Amino acid sequence: MADQRRSERLDQPRAPRGLRLPRIDAETFGRWSEGIARGMGTANFIVYMTLVIAAWFAWNTLAPADLRFDPYTFTFLTLVLSLQASYAAPLILLAQNRQADRDRIALEEDRRRATMQKADTEYLAREIAALRIAMGEVATRDFLRSELARLAEELDEAAERRRKLERRQQEREARRQAGGEPLDEPRDDLDGDFAHDGRLES
C-alpha cells in the first residue's frame, strides 16, 4: 500500500518507460547533412550520377538476359532514385535551416555592430561640435599676434610722446635757467602746460 502511494505521488518524476531511442548529436548530424547537401549540389555529383544511370541502362539493355539484374521498366532503379530523393530532400532542408540560423546570427551581430558604430559616431560628432564651440572661444595664434602687434604700436607711440614731453620740459627748464623768455607756443595738454599753471581750457 505504501509503495502504491509512493508511485502515485505527483511531486516526484515518473520513471521513463517503454522503448528508448538512441540519442543523436544534432551538431554532428547537421554537419554530416551539410556535407551531403554540399556534395549533391556540385557538377561532379550530376556527372557521376548520369554515368551510373547510363551504365545501368546499358547493362540491363545490352547484356545477356541471364546477367540482367533489373530488366526493362527498371523497377529497381526507380526504387533507388526514389529513396535517394526521399533522403536528399530532408538533408537539404536541414542544411538550409542550419544556414538560415547562421545567417540570422550573423545578421544580429551585424545589427549590433552597426548600432555600436552609430552610437560611437554620434558621440564623436558631439565631441567634435563641443571642441569647435570651445575653439571659437579660445584665442588663436593669429589673434594673439595681432593683439600683441597693436599693443606694441601703442607702447611705441606712448614712449615717443613721453620722449617728446621730456625733451620739451628739458628745453623749457634750460631756457628758464638761462633767464630767457619762454617762446610763444600753442598750449596743449601734451606738453603739460595746463598742468603747470593750473588753468583749464575755456
SS3 12: coil
* The three cell numbers locating residue 130: 563641443
**Which pLDDT score is estimated for 163?**
92
**How far apart are the C-alpha atoms of 12 and 5, rounded to whole Å?**
11
> Contact 29/95 with Cβ under 8 angstroms?
no
**Which pLDDT score is estimated for 158?**
92
For each successive 10 residues of the chain (202 residues), what is the average pLDDT? 58 70 80 88 92 93 88 90 92 90 94 95 92 75 85 92 91 80 52 49 42
Q: Which helix (H) or strand (E) covers residue 55, if one does? A: helix 43-62
What pTM does this model have?
Answer: 0.48
Sign, CA dihedral 29-31-33-36, equals negative
**Which pLDDT score is estimated for 22?**
76
User: What is the number of other CB atoms lying within 10 angstroms of the CB of residue 168?
Assistant: 15
Those residues whose C-beta lies under 8 Å from the C-beta of residue 33, and which sit 6 or more positions away, are: 91, 94, 95, 98
